[in-house]
Amino acid sequence: MISQSQWFLKWLLPTIASALVGGLLLGTLYWAAANADQVAAARQKDLVTLIVSKMQASVAHDQESATVWDDAVIKTKAGDLEWLGTNLGQWMNTYFGHDAAVVLSPEGLLIYQFIAVSDNAPSADDLRESYLPLARRLRGRLSAADQEGVSDTVLSIGQSDLTYVGQRPAIVSVKPITSDTGEIEQRAGEENLHVAVRFLDGDFLTEIANEYQFAEMQFTVHEPQDKSHSQIPLKSASGRLIGFFNWHPFEPGLSVFYATLPVIGLSVLSIYGAASLAGRAIWKRSVRLASSRQELQHLALHDSLTGLANRAHFERELTSRLESALPQDNLGVLFVDLDRFKAVNDTYGHPTGDKLISLVALRLVDLLPNALIGRIGGDEFTVLAESYEFQEVGILAESIVKRLREPFDIDGAHVVVGASVGAALATGGLDAVELTRRADIALYHAKAAGRNTYAIFGDHMDDLLRKRRRLEHDLRAALERRAQIEIFYQPVYPANSVLPCSLEALSRWRHPELGLIPPDVFIPLAEEIGVIHEIGALVLEDACSMLADLPSIDVAINASAVELGSPGYPLRVLSTLAKWGVEPNRLEVEITESLAVSGEEQTTRNVEMLREAGVRLAIDDFGTGHSSFSRIQNIIVDRIKIDKSFIQDIAQRRSRAVVEAIITMARAQGLDTTAEGVETDEQRDALILLGCDNLQGFLLSRPISRGQVVALFSAGIRAPETARGGIGY
């Protein structure tokens, strides 16, 4: 009896206890794993459905970037196939990933057709069969002047559906080609139509699988019989079954379950040896499982780099709080966009850019510890502020701008970026979409105001946006007529001379209604709309003619990043010099500091070609970029132009030390130095004492007209101060 009791206590009881606990633990884990997998599978189905729906809307939205455009109306009516191929075919494929594009006349005749090259590209007949029904329906709506669905974000009506193009499933969208300014009138129903096609198999599936981690993602015509796969049906607007997307579902529960089996075995053995340790082991496994689940949930709702809320989480929280807000509650959304972030990536590389993003996030959290902060893009952040009045939102936005303007110390590099902020308040029962749209418009205005500032949405901003488009139209018209753009010249003087040694060519836009528009307004606009080359050509032509008229003087021109990155820029410069019979070494091209160290292959090649031909180069606004002295020493230029911000504060020890270091470094490298923005005798005397070679600024001369330049060198006297000056291009 004693031996039996001993056997029972030593062997049977521990065996029964470990078996019961082990069985219960395995069953519980398996049940939890199965439930977790069901939830994950349901979420994946919802996600795929949402992706397809948003892609269908995105294709139509992408079209409007090119179809709601005066140039598109003109070029399609003119049948300019080269323009159509560049802007409505190849560009849509390259930028948005559209697989095919078609332009139809009001009679339904084919004006232009583009089909991306691939192994299973559709035939023209297959393509036509897919879009003709949609085109007919859209033509009928246009003839009836139907505007259903048009809003602030949807600029024109359209027809879109899921269908087959040949043997491939696709999104087919048809949009009318209309005027963006309203100045081109078209009779209803006589608009040309643009067709965009995005296939739902091939690259589309690969992109979804890679971006959202879908395993074995594929498209099938018939419903898969494999129960281990998840699938959703794809249906056209008429309810026709197109096919199925199917994939192997994400199974986090089973993964955790199988991963913990060895641990469970050890736990059972531990229970068998000592029952007291079993409870502790089970508790540890439960805590670990809960921690894994919390981590997965956190990753689904937060940005992996910064830990801030991601776009989906921010939008969901914003919608929820707006719906539950009382009439007296104040909610505001702020969009924060870093300035010059691309220059940091280009100069220091993406690892440094990632560190910068993380540091920006830390500053925002430190500044707004109780606000919901999200990262919605590469260098874009959002803030949901509660209980703020209009004036308080302005103070908050200003504090963000000021905080992000402070330098960042990253691995010994001194990085300065700054930020633009757009804010909007939820007044009058706005929904989340309208509130974020207004914040985005405010951000646009902050950028247009010169960046490194903030703007709060007001009703006038929609009008300002329309005025901006009008300004774009006027600038194009001015360049087409080769009128209104005027060239001024600001003399540059040797430090100890009263006669100029060179000139800097500066452009001005004299608008017939708005007056003189400064270059810091119209030059960025010209870069955005693609006419900066025309302005640069005007300045270059006038500068070379000036060099031909005044053989004893040199002239400097400014080159934008867009121009210097263009393959044809060196040829344009050298051809113009040859046309006027000017030696290349009499022309100096000024480039920005960040552009000089960008490392862009085409830019570097253009700089080398210009230098080999004899054209001199200078770094403009030196000291405002992101480069250390060690990086600048490796750049082959002839001159450094010290930024006027240092000259203005040269009486202060820190600015004086920086200027002295720049001049010393330049002298060691055999480079000339020019100080910009000299406005007082004290500044001039300090620069002469420090050994600066040349001076430029209002103290010596404002920018003057061509006739005044000729008179200046004819008389041999100091330049008059009659022309209005400013930062030039």
CB 253 within 8 A of CB 264: no
CB 560 within 8 A of CB 598: no
Which pair of tokens denotes residue 336?
Answer: 């924060």
Closest CA to 531 of 547, 510, 509, 553: 509
Which pair of tokens denotes residue 342?
Answer: 């691309």
Closest CA to 604 of 557, 641, 567, 558: 567
Higher-confidence residue of 66 and 202: namely 66
Average pLDDT over every residue of 306-315? 89
- SS3 category, 244: strand
Which pair of tokens denotes residue 491?
Answer: 């003399």
Which pair of tokens denotes residue 484?
Answer: 């209104």
Name which of 185-194, 202-211, 409-418, 686-695 the model is least confident about: 202-211
Closest CA to 694 of 628, 647, 624, 633: 647
Average pLDDT over every residue of 539-546? 94
Q: Looking at residue 124, what is its pLDDT? A: 85
CB neighbourhood size of 505 (10 A):
25
For the purposes of burial, counting CB atoms within 10 Å of the CB of 312, is it exposed (0-12), middle (13-18) or buried (19 or more)? middle
Tallying the residues shown for the chain, one arrives at 729
pLDDT for residue 641 is more than 80: yes
CB 262 within 8 A of CB 5: no
Q: Give the confidence band of 295 by pLDDT, cuts at 50, 70, 90.
A: low
Name which of 20-34, 144-158, 217-231, 480-494 the model is least confident about: 20-34
Which pair of tokens denotes residue 376?
Answer: 């919605």
CA distance 152 to 694: 53
CB 703 within 8 A of CB 725: yes
Q: For 652-700, where are the alpha helices, taking DSSP H only?
A: 653-669, 681-690
CB 139 within 8 A of CB 159: no
β-pair type (639-642, 616-622): parallel
Query: Angle, nearest 10°, between helix axes 350-367 and 341-348?
Result: 140
- Read off the pLDDT of residues 114-152 as tens digits, 9 standing for 90 and up: 998 888 888 888 899 989 999 999 898 888 888 888 888
State the virtual CA torsion across 145, 150, 154, 157 in degrees, nearest 10: -30
For the purposes of burial, counting CB atoms within 10 Å of the CB of 654, is it exposed (0-12), middle (13-18) or buried (19 or more)? exposed
Closest CA to 578 of 539, 547, 618, 616: 547
CB neighbourhood size of 574 (10 A):
17
DSSP assignment, residue 316?
H
Half-sphere exposure of 196 (CA within 13 A, CB side): 32
How would you list the strands of the sheet with 241-248, edge to edge? 215-220, 241-248, 230-235
Higher-confidence residue of 167 and 431: namely 167
CB 17 within 8 A of CB 275: yes
Q: What angle do CA 224, 226, 229 make, to 5 degrees?
A: 85
Residue given tokens 């997965």 in the structure block: 296
Which pair of tokens denotes residue 323?
Answer: 């719906």
- Read off the pLDDT of residues 517-530 as tens digits, 9 standing for 90 and up: 888 778 877 887 88
Query: Within its chain, how far is the Cα of 444 from the centroid?
Result: 12
User: pLDDT averaged over the chain?
Assistant: 83
Q: Looking at residue 279, what is its pLDDT? A: 45
Name which of 13-22, 272-281, 456-465 the model is least confident about: 272-281
- Read off the pLDDT of residues 21-50 as tens digits, 9 standing for 90 and up: 777 877 887 787 778 777 877 887 888 888
Residue given tokens 């708005």 in the structure block: 514
Q: Give the confidence band of 280 by pLDDT, cuts at 50, 70, 90.
A: low
Q: Give the confidence band of 436 by pLDDT, cuts at 50, 70, 90.
A: confident
Contacts of residue 209, Cβ cutoff 8 Å, sequence gap at least 6: 215, 217, 247
CA distance 335 to 522: 24
Which pair of tokens denotes residue 104?
Answer: 């139809």
- SS3 category, 346: helix
CA distance 466 to 138: 27
Residue given tokens 């993406």 in the structure block: 350
Contacts of residue 134, Cβ cutoff 8 Å, sequence gap at least 6: 159, 160, 161, 172, 173, 174, 195
Name which of 282-286, 501-505, 554-558, 635-639 the model is least confident about: 282-286
CA distance 419 to 396: 13
Q: Give the confidence band of 723 by pLDDT, cuts at 50, 70, 90.
A: very low
